[in-house]
Amino acid sequence: MSDTQAGTSPYRIYWITWAILLVITVAMLAAEEFHMPRWFLLVFLLVFMMVKAVMIAGNFMHLRYEKRNLGIMVGLGILVTSLILYGFVSRESAHVLQQTIR
Amino acid sequence: MHDGGQAAVMEAHWGGGAAPFGATWQKTMMWIFIVTDALLFSGLLCGYAFLRQAAIQPWPKQSEVFSIPFIALMTFILITSSMTMGSAVTAARLGDHKKARTMLAITIFGGLCFLGCQAYEWSHLIHEGARLTGALPGSTLAAEGVPPVFTQAFFVLTGFHGSHVLSGLIILIVTLVRWSMRKTPSQGVEMAGLYWHFVDLVWVFIFTLFYLL
């Protein structure tokens, strides 16, 4: 692990990650208070949600120290499958809503 | 590294072989399990998206149904327990037996606090009339116009996550006992840690997509 170099506490990365995650969480909660456009809030929350997920997987789960193909299998596998599933679900929900309104 | 060596490394990492991910079989299997479990939550969250997007009734404002500061406290507890779990894994790797034990114990305490908060949130909402089938007629939630799909999504998402927290806690308690008896190697702590961080990871998505958006 790169953070076990001489002079650096091996636990430092966890404290830093923890602090950043807390700051992001507070920012996400505070964002609701600023009456910003809905689309902006949506993008803001989704982007920071992904940043938090990457930080947990990379620093807490040590994925950044693993071989790249493990990270690709995990990250890309879950992301692509979820997006495909959401694509189908989204189309279907719009169809169902239209049918219900009629 | 010359071309032949580079090719050999690429072959070992991408072409299968004994250790295609450069990790032990325990870690590889744990990651495969995490991917499958993540896909379960992906399916549940997509199901929630379907219910919400197809709902004819307006979706209630979460801050009017839940206490968002309380949910933020739950998030704080889980993030903190993830940090102490990471410290436990590193301490175990470095052979610091006492620190690993202490950090594991703090992580378990955090997990118990989170479960306690969730139990409180569930009982509070059930008291207000929330049921798996929807809000009870005449209840506070029904008066607020909470649609049935809202309570369904709530119980299913937080219920599945809570059951993962519970199983994570059991794994952590077993790991703590075995680690204290020096019956598990540092890799045992690392595997328990991977699962615990995954539970935290799932909460990040539930917190944002269900409580904030």
What digits encode the pLDDT tens for the residues A9-59? 889 999 999 999 999 999 999 988 888 888 999 999 999 999 999 999 999
Residue of A nearest to B76 (CA): A22
> Measured between alpha carbons, how far apart are the two ends of chain B, in Å?
50
Distance, in Å, from the CA atom of B191 to the CA atom of B199, rounded to the nearest integer, reads 13
| Residue B91 included in any domain | yes
- For residue B134, the 8-state DSSP code is E
Q: pLDDT of B162-189, one tens digit each?
A: 999 999 999 999 999 999 999 999 999 9
B135: helix, strand or coil: strand
Give the residue from B212, B213, B211, B210 showing the smallest Cα distance to B48.
Answer: B210
Indicate the domain borders of chain A.
1-65, 67-102
pLDDT beyond 70 at A4: no
pLDDT beyond 60 at B141: yes
| Residue A20 burial (C-beta neighbours within 10 Å; 0-12, 13-18, 19+) | middle
| Residue B42 included in any domain | yes
Which chain A residues contact residue B89 at CB under 8 A? 62
Which chain A residues contact residue B13 at CB under 8 A? 67, 69
Distance, in Å, from the CA atom of A47 to the CA atom of B156, rounded to the nearest integer, reads 25
Instruction: Pick B14's closest partner by Cβ from A17, A69, A92.
Output: A69
Residue of A nearest to B36 (CA): A78
Instruction: Name the residue with tokens 């744990």.
Output: B30
Higher-confidence position of A32 and B100: B100
Which chain B residues contact residue A53 at CB under 8 A? 201, 204-205
| Residue B178 included in any domain | yes
Distance, in Å, from the CA atom of B11 to the CA atom of B30, rounded to the nearest integer, reads 23
For position A100, what pLDDT does the model report? Answer: 86
**Spacing of C-alpha B141 from chain mean position:** 27
Range(s) of the domain holding residue B136:
24-212
pLDDT beyond 50 at A1: no
| Residue B11 included in any domain | no
Distance, in Å, from the CA atom of B20 to the CA atom of B24, rounded to the nearest integer, reads 10
pTM of the predicted model as reported, rounded to 2 decimal places: 0.90
Helix (H) or strand (E) holding B15: none
Q: pLDDT of B7-63, one tens digit each?
A: 665 555 556 666 778 888 889 999 999 999 999 999 999 999 999 999 888 889 888
> Measured between alpha carbons, how far apart are the two ends of chain A, in Å?
60
| Residue B184 included in any domain | yes
Distance, in Å, from the CA atom of B48 to the CA atom of B157, rounded to the nearest integer, reads 8
- For residue B19, the 8-state DSSP code is -
CB contact under 8 A, A66 and B49: no
pLDDT beyond 90 at B1: no
Distance, in Å, from the CA atom of B162 to the CA atom of B114, rounded to the nearest integer, reads 9
Please give the tally of structural domains in chain B. Answer: 1
CATH number of the domain that residue B182 is part of: 1.20.120.80
- Report ipTM (2 d.p.): 0.90
Instruction: Pick A49's closest partner by Cβ from B20, B28, B208.
Output: B208
How near does any CA of chain A get to the CA of B2, in Å? Answer: 20
B151: helix, strand or coil: helix
| Residue B108 included in any domain | yes
pLDDT beyond 50 at A3: no
| Residue B59 included in any domain | yes
Distance, in Å, from the CA atom of B190 to the CA atom of B192, rounded to the nearest integer, reads 5
Which chain B residues contact residue A11 at CB under 8 A? 87, 90-91
